Amino acid sequence: MSNSLRAVTTNVGPCREQVGTEPARRPVQASAKARYPLRAHDAWALSVEVLENALGAETFERELHDDEQALLIAHCGRLLVVTVPGLPDKSRERLVRLLFTEYIRHGWAAVVLDSELNVSFSETLEDAARSGGEDPPDGRLARITDVRNLYDGSVYAPLRGWRRDEEVIAALCELITDGLNGVAEDVPKEAYPLPGGVGAAVSIGYDEHGVSRPLVWVRADLPSGLRADLWGYCAALVAGIDRVDVEPDENGIYYVGRERSAVTGPGLALLAAVIVQRLGRRPGDCAFPLLSSLDQAEVVPPAAA
């Protein structure tokens, strides 16, 4: 795969299979049955106030036990968020976002953070189970069926409305080729078969003037939603390549795994999620593993869109 990818960098164009000459289509309208639930990255992209209102959370300060700094409890139909008194605003906000991250990911009934930001949690509260309340601990999460409404007026709302995956892929390719002076292509056919765990490959090349050019290849045989999120991750990666702590292989290529995980804080994965959303797609989990060799790419289960 390394040689095949390197061989096509001299004469490739931007995303030929995604960018065509057909007229631009109207922004797609979501089906009334479609669900767009909260994801972990929303705990960092939305304002704390919007999250608190959407979840019906009650927040206050109180001295906690031992080294505890913050606490979230879902109990008897209420969601309580507690932080210790006297924290700087930014520190308190970070703790609240971390609590919401774990709650959104798992629906824990109780989440506790200590001064080292270690997380402990419980799936149930015995007295909550005995209370016979109307909602289970994560019931309020299930009620948010279209989180896109929470982004109205946000800096992370889509620039041109919600669009089809293919339109978002085309816009991401344009961002890489025009905005970042790069190359964006599907993985060439001669590079197949690929290891099952590989979703994309990224390298940094140079043009005839010695100016660096990001080179991005994403495999075309994946569901469109996964491909869109991979393109978003690759765009974030080439924009922040100096911040990664993984070395490329001997050919200077980074391999991006196709197996998703939740975005749990600031970084490349969060940047990927908000880039994808700004261009019109409600992103899935956008934390993809960054591999330094094909040997790390194991066969993975079928990818979700």
Residue 44 has pLDDT above 60, yes or no: yes
Mean pLDDT score, 70-94 = 93
- Give the pLDDT of residue 305: 53
Look up the pTM and report it: 0.83
154-184 pLDDT per residue, tens: 999 999 999 999 999 999 999 999 999 999 9
Residue 73 has pLDDT above 60, yes or no: yes
Other Cβ atoms less than 10 A from the Cβ of 262: the count is 18
Q: How far apart are CA 188 and CA 272, in angstroms?
A: 24
pLDDT category of residue 196 using cuts at 50, 70 and 90: confident
What's the whole-number mean pLDDT along residues 121-130? 59
Residues facing residue 200 across a β-bridge: 218, 256
Better-predicted residue by pLDDT, 280 or 247: 280
Query: What are phi and psi for residue 119, nearest 5 degrees?
Result: -110, 135
Q: Which pair of structure tokens corresponds to residue 229? A: 């999120």
